[in-house]
Amino acid sequence: GAVVSQHPSRVICKSGTSVKIECRSLDFQATTMFWYRQFPKQSLMLMATSNEGSKATYEQGVEKDKFLINHASLTLSTLTVTSAHPEDSSFYICSARGQGAGTEAFFGQGTRLTVV
């Protein structure tokens, strides 16, 4: 299947700083990318959906000023956690799908963010 690469896989940052996570589709054009957050022993919760060249659509309860999403090209989307706090520590996963109805979404390997 297609490959989605997420970077970094792990990051530790100090409280108050910002962290950027990248999600790249390596062998297909990702018209839509999804960002999920996974808490320990819980399911993946969708944070936002982004279409290339458009503003991201955030799920209810997700602060768009805190979790900045940019999808500037068909192969790259970024999630920036601004002014991170310990409660933002979590596992963040991106997924990408290409053009065409019914096209499968492919997932990145996830990023473990720890805010100290």
Q: Interface with other proteins by CB under 8 A: which residues?
A: 1, 4, 6, 34, 36, 41-46, 49, 93, 95, 97, 101-105, 107-110
Amino acid symbol at 3: V
Report the side by side order of strands in the sheet with 76-81. Answer: 4-7, 19-25, 76-81, 67-73
Q: Which is nearer to other proteins, 23 or 84 (CB)?
A: 23
Least distance from other proteins to the Cβ atom of residue 49, Å: 6
| CA angle, residues 44, 8, 60, in degrees to nearest 5 | 35
Tokens of 35: 């960002």
Q: Which is nearer to other proteins, 71 or 84 (CB)?
A: 71
Query: How many whole angstroms separate alpha carbon 103 and alpha carbon 85?
Result: 36
Least distance from other proteins to the Cβ atom of residue 101, Å: 6
Q: Which is nearer to other proteins, 76 or 105 (CB)?
A: 105
